[in-house]
Amino acid sequence: MKGRIFVVDKDFIDRLHNNMCIEIKIPDPNNKQWFKTITDILADTFQLQLGDYIFFWQKKEDNKDTYIRGLYKVSSKVFYEDNVFKIKIKEIYHFDVPITEYDILNDPYNKFNLWNIIGKKIAGKPRASSPLSDYEIEFLTQKLINKNPNYKFNSNYKDKLEDINNEVTINLNNNKNNILPITLKEFNPNSISYLNEDNTIRYEKFFELLFNWKFREKDSSFFNSLDIDIKNVVWYANYLPYTIGRNEIDYLILESQDTKIINQFDLIEFQKGTIDKDHIERCLIYAEWLNNNLGKGAKLTQPIILCESQNRNTLKIINEVLENTNLENPNKPLKVYTIQYIDNQWKIEKVR
């Protein structure tokens, strides 16, 4: 069960009933980093699939409090319209009264971390949306039901993709330099070049977009190369808060052999170019944090680093870091892979 919460304003809420779309605003094209920002935005939107749950975190503005509203489900792929990215949604529960931010952050019965919500809030995350765990989805829904005893449930809802125009797609055949559009009217998201002329990755954020895209397409062979069985995957997300600081986990996959009990956390750190000491140390620290928090002490995390290439010093760097730390779990040792785009396909090779 996956979901996402979007930060919105009152104007968005006022027109939501008529539009029934998530709207992701795009900044005006202004500098060379603009395409990197667009890649970042698309990585988040591609994390959503048909049937995922959607909540809206309404900013305070002139209200007495900050409100959380729901509950909707994703009913389309991402498309580009009126100079914004959009995703169609359908209402599955109707709640007249929203819950407040205070209701969530000060709940005395919440004995588990609202990992993404609290992490985003306390650290002042500037992101327009955040992924939600299955616990967070259930927690928010139950709070809304409690506040709205006469809520309405759409019993006729069925997960079915709606038709759209201008679907956003990924084109890997274009590896020319991106040219900044003069205005958003001239912008065509399907012409973005994510690879350099030598087919190396242009923006590190593309790793996140690539993984979300491959999950959406159910590309089992891609994940098999990483020893991940897509049939066991019950949740995945990119760009996740680590503790309440400003550091972020690049990617996390939860696996369950029976679809109920989580038996492994696949923690993936991405790196352009070759591996370095900082990424190795960071990956092991994140793995330990996941074991202590999501795993409640159980060592379930499989740390993985995915980089573009290796050189003659790669294994030496890895071994030097591991010799000076006790964070590596011998039952789930660090895995390192390289990834390259060759002959119109992704080639993933295991280094360690």
Q: Tell me the whole-structure pTM to 2 decimals.
A: 0.93
In angstroms, the CA 118 to CA 159 distance is 30
Element (H, E) at 129: strand 129-132
- Omega cis (within 30) before 71: yes
The C-alpha atoms of residue 252 and residue 42 are separated, in whole angstroms, by 17
Tens-place pLDDT, residues 208-245: 999 999 999 999 999 999 999 999 999 999 988 776 55
- Nearest Cα to Cα of residue 151 among 90, 69, 95: 95
Range 12-40 average pLDDT: 93
> With contact defined as beta carbons under 8 Å apart, do 307 and 334 qualify?
no
**How do the domains of the chain map onto residue ranges?**
3-153, 218-350
Q: CA-CA distance, 54 to 47, in Å (whole number)? A: 12
- Predicted local distance difference test score (pLDDT) of residue 171: 93
pLDDT tens digits, 266-285: 999 999 999 999 999 999 99
Residue 123: the pLDDT is 46
Q: Which amino acid is at 161?
A: L
Note the pLDDT of residue 122: 45
The answer to whether the CB of 137 falls within 8 A of the CB of 117 is: no
Of 3.30.420.240, 3.40.50.150, 3.40.1350.10, 3.40.50.2300, which CATH number belongs to 218-350?
Answer: 3.40.1350.10
Query: What Rg, from alpha-carbon coordinates, does the chain have?
Result: 21
Lowest mean pLDDT among 44-53, 57-66, 242-251, 322-331: 242-251
Q: What is the pLDDT of residue 32?
A: 81
Per-residue pLDDT tens for 301-313? Answer: 999 999 999 888 8
**Structural contact between residues 90 and 108, judged by C-beta atoms closer than 8 angstroms:** no
Helices and strands in the chain: count of H runs, count of E runs: 9, 16
How much of the chain, in percent, has pLDDT values that exceed 90? Answer: 71
DSSP annotation of 256 reads: -
Contact 317, 276 (CB under 8 A): yes
Q: What is the DSSP letter of 285?
A: H
- CATH number corresponding to 3-153: 3.10.590.10
CA–CA distance, 304 with 335 (Å, rounded to integer): 5
pLDDT tens by residue, 314-325: 888 888 888 888
Partnered with residue 79 across adjacent β-strands are 86, 167
Which amino acid does the sequence have at 214? K
User: What average pLDDT does the segment 189-218 reach?
Assistant: 96
pLDDT of 119 over the 60 cut:
no
Given this model, what pLDDT does residue 313 score?
87
Quick one: pLDDT at residue 53?
A: 97
- Please give the pLDDT value at position 223: 97
Residue pLDDT, tens place only, 31-55 = 889 999 999 999 999 999 999 999 9
Length of the chain: 352
Residue 149: pLDDT over 50: yes
Of 330, 310, 332, the residue nearest 264 (C-alpha): 332
Short-list 26, 244, 246, 27, CA closest to 126: 246
